[in-house]
Structure 1
Amino acid sequence: MDADIILNEVQGYVKDQLSGDSSGHDYWHIERVVNNAKKLLNSEKADGFKVLIAAWLHDVGDYKLHNGKDKTQEIVFPLLISLGCTTKFAEEIIQIIEEVSFKGGHNSPTTSIEAKIVQDADRLDAIGAIGIARAFAYGGSKGREIFNPDEKPEEYLSSEAYQKNNSSTLMHFYEKLLKLKDLMNTDSAKEIAHERHRFMVIFLDQFQNEVSH
């Protein structure tokens, strides 16, 4: 199979698996991440095929969609092998995906420009107006409070502690989303993140004004 055929097959698989998701990890999230990655590839020298495959597949095995268990390896590896990819290529894609996740700040360091681009592309969709919408969609899907005035932001000591937290959606902004601007890898992502971050700050200021006693 050639690259375009593999990309089309992977896109179709993701659409079948994630269409209709209401947690903010639906097919359209994936498509936006892929489009973000394409924009970043205009400014970065990288293996575009690897970047796009990893961007399409970065959430299919995510623990948030599988009751706390990461299934990236068991889903992505056989899928890519079935499409004619080599074992080496499949392992490289899995490594990129494993390096993308935030994990409360305890994720593995990115070891390739491809991982940096996919991570930036995913994080850009977690901030700004779309990031606000996704945060509350995810919180609602997990039965979390919108806001609790008694809460304070926490620093999680492990990725496991981060995954098990049940803080309100508003706390998620202080525990993760507001940190992402300064964690972008590429200059082009940093530029996009600046405006999206500013919009979140405006939203949070307005939110706090409306809920203040």
Structure 2
Amino acid sequence: MKIIELLVKALLGSDFDHGYPHIERVLKWAERIVSTENLPVDRELLKTIVLLHDVGRIIGEPHAYYSGLVAEELLKEFSLDPAVIRRVVNAIQYHSFSYSRNHRIEPGSLEALVLSDADKLDALGIVGFIRVFIYSCRNGRSFEDTLKHFDEKIFKLSGEMKFRYSRLKASELVEKTMRLLNDLLAEFRGLCEGQGFLNNHKGC
């Protein structure tokens, strides 16, 4: 586990949006879900899954696919049971909002459901709001497309939660995200009059 932690830290770096700080936050969300719901998960397996779920981002998209490949090859080096490796890869592939739907990936374990919820919770609230804009700036996504991202993905995440605790927290965090976005839009409308995409976006 220590080797995996050091490797993931080195590969993902310290970026707030998808670096190791994101991994640490997802781990904390996962622990809260498991404890609150009293879930009989394999905690070491869950930690392994969380640590490796985004490691493929160093290669590119679809990151869930590449993360699964990296995880599979790494865990083979540790001579893990092939059945365990398959559970890790399945959970990693399933966690992605878009990849799992495009490729019809179904969750193969309780740990997969926990990762899915924990990862999505970190995309909401103030933390999630900041992450969206950091990612947009880094990847050249326009302000208009960033606003669309909230409508097309972020505000749909609460409906994807699998556990009661996750749904309750997601509901709270979505409200925070909506308030932040509406405040941002209100401020920008006063500064950017005439820019259609701002004037036409009614907020939430």
Q: Is the 8 A contact 2:125 2:174 kept in 1?
A: yes
Aligned-residue identity in percent: 29
CA drift of 1:39 comes to 1.1
Q: How many residues align?
A: 184
Tell me the TM-score normalised to structure 1 length.
Answer: 0.79
Aligned residues of 2:9 and 2:20 also touching (Cα < 8 A): yes
- Structure 2 match to 1:11: 5
Matches within 5 A, 1:111-122: 111-122=108-119
Please state whether the residue corresponding to 1:71 is helix, strand or coil. helix
Letter aligned with residue 29 of structure 1 = H
Q: Which runs of 5+ in 2 are unaligned?
A: 194-204
Q: Which one scores higher on RCO, CA 8 angstroms, separation ≥ 6?
A: 1
State the partner residue of 1:83.
78
Provide the residue aligned with 1:106 in structure 2: 101
Q: Secondary structure at the match of 2:56?
A: coil
Contact 1:104 1:176 in 2 (8 A): no
Greater per-residue helix proportion: 2
Instruction: Note if 1:128 corresponds to 2:125.
Output: yes
Which deviations, in whole Å up to 9, do the C-alpha atoms of 1:33-56 show, x marking residues without a partner? 111111111122222222211111
Distance 1:114 1:96 in 2: 7
Distance 1:187 1:206 in 2: 29
TM-score by length of 2: 0.83
SS at match of 2:28: helix
Aligned to 1:142: 139
Cα offset for 1:115? 0.8
Q: Displacement, 1:83?
A: 2.4
Q: Which amino acid aligns with 1:66?
A: I
Instruction: Provide the secondary structure at the position in 1 that maps to 2:6.
Output: helix
CA distance, structure 1, for counterparts of residue 47 and residue 99 of structure 2: 25
- Corresponding residue number in structure 2 for 1:74: 69
Paired residue secondary structure (2:55): coil
The correspondence of residues 1-213 of structure 1 with structure 2, limited to 5 A, is 7-21=1-15, 24-42=17-35, 43=37, 44-62=39-57, 65-69=58-62, 70-103=65-98, 106=101, 108-146=105-143, 148=144, 168-212=145-189, 213=193
